[in-house]
Structure 1
Amino acid sequence: MTSGPASDQRCIAEVDSIRPVVSICSDRQEKVDRGDLALATERPFAVSVGAATLARLTVREREVLRNMARGESNRVLARRLGIAERTVRAHITSIVRKLGVVSRFEAGLVAFHQYEALAGEDVAS
């Protein structure tokens, strides 16, 4: 394992990426502590997308979305797909808009839960 500024930056980025999840978990724990179990058991990221919505994505957007399920950075996605990082960002912006989600994180959840459907559509195309 390497150490140094680059390694430190990666660690900071990883911590920053989970900060919203930690915040949600803290909120849920506070609800449990107050005895508000109904609110504590709500799924904070209940994101569902139908087949018709997935069909609106281009083949390349489905490929980007499927790779997002791994939780990799835009830079890693760009290298894996052989495209520019800026192009990955453009695809993700389009994906988020078409899926009707509010963030890259939620799009990643869709990708994770719809992974097989996304792979199957590419084979069928």
Structure 2
Amino acid sequence: MTDTQKIRVLIVDDHPLMRVGVAAIIDGQPGMVTVAQAGSGEEALELFETHQPDITLMDLRLPKMSGVETIRAIRQVHAQARFVVLTTYEGDEDIHQALEAGAQGYIIKGMPYESLVQALERVHAGGRFLPLPVKKALATRTPDSELSHRERQVLKLMATGNSNKRIGELLGITEATVKSHVSTILMRLNVVDRTQAVILALQRGLVHF
């Protein structure tokens, strides 16, 4: 089989050792080949244009532009582009955001390498690949838990220990408006206080440090 007949994969991950290891797995398969490796979202955009891969294997945690943002940016230009997410993020919000952006597969680092191979094969064939742990996490998501962009900003600043007054100063809004956002966040997350909100946000992937 020539390289042009193989599934051509672009690997996007900010850890060089991870990229090398994943490339070794892909290149060890008779029907797959790594065409390029990117360490950032910005680099991924350039390499995608150059190589036009069949599938982009995307980490979500990248230095500046996130994996979800990178998927969205590529799909704005290439609507048929296919993505498999390979990440440490296991929260239902992470999974939801990636699938909403256009990913067709989602696997967690630490799963058997066979899952990676299966995901690439299935997505290349036009299907989706969501292993059981991913499906279970997604099933816990409640429809009315969606937060607005501003509420996410407030939640992130809550998670880093800022007071309502300080959050207001940082976002250029009044303390009363911050309190209103906090009340909405607690209601949507179905928790009783800020501490519970932060713990749940970290578990679900609404906030990352």
Higher relative contact order (CA 8 A, sep 6+): 1
Is the strand fraction higher in 1 or 2? 2
- Say which one has the larger Rg: 2
TM-score (normalised: structure 2): 0.30
Higher helix proportion (structure 1 or 2): 1
